[in-house]
Amino acid sequence: MSPDGFSFYKPDGGKLICRTFPNNSSDLLTIQAPLFFPLGETVTVVAAQHIPMLVPEELYDPAKDREYLALQYDISQLGATYSDQVGAYRAVYFLTRNEADTLGQFSYPKQTVSEATLLYRFLCSQGPQPALIAALNDGFTDIVAVQKEEVLLMNRFRPAEPEDTLYHILNVIRQQNMRQPAIYLQFLAEENRKLPQLLKTCNLNPVIL
């Protein structure tokens, strides 16, 4: 689930099949989903509408999810709250009432996770070295930075040019004092070939996922 609609993904013989639907597809989950997903399969719902709010685990109280979110987001249309464990933090996020009602039509067994949490888990799986991933989508880019399996930063910004993303990545590396970080790029929209070249001019060799 992203700001502009839904995408369906499933593995098929080592490849990943994807279908994307805009928000105005009213029959999406009742008609299109059963044509795409095998019956009875548990589906992971990846929420990518916004970056989660990080709350230190020792301070986290699930009864206060609404209070936490209200500090950062407009929750006047809040429908459901969720949290994922990310190192020493809880990543708290939400669906609006409309999103929650739409998802309620989805008859498959499902589990919900934030996209930022998946990016964090990927970086942790790569080893203990400092690492940063930039997931580039239409209109926005998400950045997650990790060091020794602890999340340093989760952020979303809206770049106008590839140079904006370069600046943001370099700024995160400097502010977090990341030494020789591994850099990963995930293009969820059309791949921008300029950004990897810009990073290489700064002695950073990104891995394109």
In order of their start, the domains of the chain are 1-114 (3.30.420), 126-208 (3.30.420.260)
pTM: 0.89
* Residues facing 54 on adjacent strands: 91
Give the residue ranges of DSSP H helices in 61-193: 65-70, 97-104, 115-125, 162-175
Decide the pairing of beta strands 150-157 and 141-147: antiparallel
pLDDT digits (tens, 9 = 90+) for 146-196: 998 899 999 999 988 888 999 999 999 999 999 889 999 998 776 667 889
List phi, psi (to 5°) of 140.
-155, 160
pLDDT digits (tens, 9 = 90+) for 131-158: 999 998 888 899 999 998 899 999 999 9
List phi, psi (to 5°) of 195.
-60, -50
Residue 84's Cβ-side half-sphere holds a number of Cα atoms within 13 Å equal to: 22
Higher-confidence residue: 193 or 124? 124
- Residue-level length of the chain: 209
